[in-house]
Chains A and B, each alone.
Chain A
Amino acid sequence: METGFLIIAGITAVGAIAAMSLRNLVHCALCLTVAFAGLAALYLRLGAQFVGFAQILVYIGAVAILIVFAILLTRSNETESEAGRGRGKWSSLASVGVAFLVFSVLSISVLSGSMANRTAQDLPDISVKEIGLQLMTGYVLPLEVIALLLTAALIGAVLIAMPEKSAANGDAQTRVAHRSPTEAGEKLNDL
């Protein structure tokens, strides 16, 4: 058990626990970013460079920013109300108990399993070229499906997040569009 692994694992675990337990939502998002960065470092330690940098790009670069935007757009950066938390005190305790049970079962099975004597094989040369070749040969069908899924998710996210009264908004936009040339003209006259 190396020291580097212990440090990275500790940072990841503390970040995750803080992200799930802090009151302020923006602090939660920042701690979540720390946990994601720790996970990326763990991937890099395991020799999966491409996955590690994809984790940094996708999670720290995109998902964390999306979460911060959602927090700001829903204007819920004030802390959760005490009444809402107090009402479900017993259910919260039960949930934490269930999570602890899951963790203990998983760690007991990991520690008592037959993986103790497994050692790492020699790391093969996994260049990005090799990953690209695999994506274009053996995994080309999943790649196409993922492309379709991402397109559908992009369009779906825009459609879902669009305002409900799109007709009224459209009218307002056309009105603004009609008005804007005259305003521009007035500004030109002022100049």
Chain B
Amino acid sequence: MTTLQGYLIVSALLFAVGLAGALTRRNVILVLVGIELMLNSANLNFIAFWRYGEHPELLTGVMFVIFSISIAAAEAAVGLALIIAVYRHYKTTNLDQMDSLKG
């Protein structure tokens, strides 16, 4: 097992953990945390492939990850604002109890 494979397996493990968390947990905040973990595993893949790729001087992987991090930050801000707005309406953060769109 080479180093690149090690990074890719860590990334796959992070993705699987995030997926399992997003599917099993019933708390909205933890579902968002699972999605963040999945985004981070994709970032790790980008950096690993950039480092072990053909042309690391082109900085494509680094650029992609910088943009990806900023998009993930915007997503987290809007997502947590939505969670707070929904909590104010339903008085719960349990996904099973948020079962109607119109309220």
Contacts and interface: CB of A to CB of B under 8 A. Distances in A.
B13 to A, nearest CB: 5
Contacts, number: 252
Q: How big is the A interface, by class? A: 35 or more
Task: Please report whether the interface of chain A is mostly helix, strand, loop or mixed according to DSSP.
Answer: helix
B36 A63 contact: yes
A34 interface: no
A67 B29 contact: yes
A160 B82 contact: yes
Given A96-B20, A115-B2, A149-B71, A156 B78 contact: yes
Contacts of B20: 20, 95-96, 98-100
Contact of A153 (B2, B12, B78): B78
Contact of B57 (A66, A124, A160): A124
B43 to A, nearest CB: 8
Nearest to A21: B21
Nearest to A69: B80
Q: How big is the B interface, by class? A: 35 or more
A103 B32 contact: no
B4 A118 contact: yes
A80 interface: yes
B80 A66 contact: yes
Interface in A5-34: 5-6, 9, 12-13, 16-17, 19-21, 25, 28-29, 32
A46 to B, nearest CB: 5
A116 interface: yes
Contact of A84 (B3, B51, B81, B94): B94
B29 A71 contact: yes
Contact of B66 (A54, A67, A80, A156): A54
Contacts of A28: 30, 33
A126 B59 contact: yes
A20 B36 contact: no
A31 B6 CA distance: 22
A110 B5 contact: yes
14 contacts: A5-B3, A5-B7, A13-B10, A13-B13, A25-B30, A48-B47, A48-B62, A70-B84, A107-B9, A115-B4, A116-B1, A118-B2, A119-B2, A149-B74
Interface of B: 1-10, 12-21, 23-27, 29-30, 32-34, 36-37, 40, 43-44, 47-48, 50-54, 56-57, 59, 61-63, 65-67, 69-78, 80-85, 87-89, 92-94, 96
Given A2-B3, A66-B77, 13 more contacts: A5-B6, A19-B33, A32-B36, A51-B43, A58-B72, A67-B33, A76-B29, A80-B27, A106-B15, A115-B4, A153-B74, A157-B78, A163-B88
In the A-B complex, the 10 residue pairs with the closest CB atoms: A20-B21, A95-B23, A103-B16, A99-B20, A153-B74, A106-B12, A124-B57, A157-B81, A161-B81, A160-B81
